[in-house]
Amino acid sequence: MTMTPLIYMLALIISIVILLVLTLKLKMNSFMALFFTAMGLSIFFGTSPIESLNNITGSFGKSLGSIGLPVLFGAILAMGVQDSGAAVAISNFFVKLFRGKHLELAPALTAFVMAISVFGDISQLLTAPIAATIAKRKNMNMAVVTPYVITAVWFTHGVVPPSAAILAVAILLGADVGMVILWGLVICLASLIIIYALTIRWMTEHASYAAPKPEYTVGIEPVKDGDDSVESLLMKEPDIPNALIAFLPLIVPAGLIAAASICAMVLPEDSGVLQVINFIGNKSIAMLVGIIILILTNGKIKAKMLRNANRTEKISENASLLELGMGNWVKRAIDVSAMVLMVTAMGAAFASVLSSQPVVSEIAEVVAKSGIPMILIPFIIAAVMRAAAGSMATASMAAAGICLPIMNMLGLSPVAVTLAIGLGTVLFGHVNDSGCWMCQEVFNVDLPQYLKYVSPMAAFGGCVGMVLLMILSMIGLV
């Protein structure tokens, strides 16, 4: 069968519909749904069943090999962050920074920082009690607080490596991971501040009310009228780590990876310094450094960390920090990260099937003649895929698979295409995304509020980020 652009597009649409039916209607796990869809699509494209299986297996293994260690180490780090109470320390830091004002930003920025190295779902779970406590103390509306928190999580989870999906996209497209981290953080942080400044007044005046989740606010009383002291707004719990200690394990890995990329541009290739920096700035080693920092800097709160760890996985109260970090956290991290890795790697296999057809270049030529700015193409593809598939990982990998064969035609740097895909996946999260239901549960907003405030806010943020990316691309910085 001759593959034409029309047949390819119809096959793509049908495959997305099949993916939706398998996951939403038949309740099939995303991993198996992606596998069956990729196999069916590959066979439809004219590849024999055994060759299709070999290609999918090869792409799956290659992706898993690229992202496996960084993601697993990130999950280990997440377990440590959870046990140490770092989220509370980071939130208190932002409350102090803003002197008790702009309190919607405190949990949002906490989530932003957390999601750099911690899975998006875990970031939501860690941030929700903080948001609820602040909202209860200042009589704030959770329907106002939640959109900024979720947008922050989606920004760093969807756009900034070492998050699994965008890391896999960067590797697939040949982008410098350090530069993706650096510019991703700049664009996403700026976009978050911009949308907050532009929307907070309207949100405060018009958003329907959602109360803080009662389970998170037992014993919490609103501050007295007229009490604007910062102290009254701080989270209180025993053995809260120092803010610097809380930040270090999360930002050092990203900093090391970015530093390695910058040094590679300014130092000679045979430089001994560059060799050292390249090693510690390796994605896996950088995340391991974060774990070691977390273990070494939290010795004073060892008892608290052991108590918290024991809630999930049994560990002796006399265990050493080494046993906690390299034993308990690792086991829990494998449980948490295994499915993320499997789905992301199978998403890469699905992407390889999409990118295998030469007809993709013909489609790109048609789009190029339409006058649409090239940088919008990966952004739009990712946004459409997110709306259709729900999963940010599936959307980003599918978009990368479509964009890979047309990179030369796009005329953009791999970093720009990677960031455009990431920003596109921030748009259009709705009921076919499992995060929609988790958000409602932990932040105590209902579905109409989610669809009216959370999803549009994130979409607005993604569009603002895209404008910033276009500007940076036009002046040659990205």
Please say if the pLDDT value at position 347 is more than 70: yes
Please say if the pLDDT value at position 226 is more than 70: no
Instruction: Say what the pLDDT of residue 466 is.
Output: 96
Better-predicted residue by pLDDT, 432 or 190: 190
Cis peptide bond upstream of 162, omega within 30: yes
Please say if the pLDDT value at position 344 is more than 90: no
Is the pTM higher than 0.95? The answer reads no
pLDDT 10s digits, 136-175: 888 889 999 999 999 999 999 899 987 878 888 998 898 9
pLDDT 10s digits, 396-433: 888 888 888 888 888 889 999 999 999 999 998 777 66
pLDDT 10s digits, 349-372: 888 888 787 777 777 777 767 778
pLDDT 10s digits, 434-453: 677 778 878 888 888 888 99
Q: Average pLDDT of 183-201? A: 94
Give the confidence band of 271 by pLDDT, cuts at 50, 70, 90: confident
Structure tokens belonging to residue 214: 């009662």
Please say if the pLDDT value at position 51 is more than 90: yes
Give the confidence band of 1 by pLDDT, cuts at 50, 70, 90: low
Mean pLDDT of all residues in the chain? 85
Domain residue ranges of the chain, discontinuous segments joined by +: 5-224+237-474
Instruction: Say what the pLDDT of residue 49 is.
Output: 92
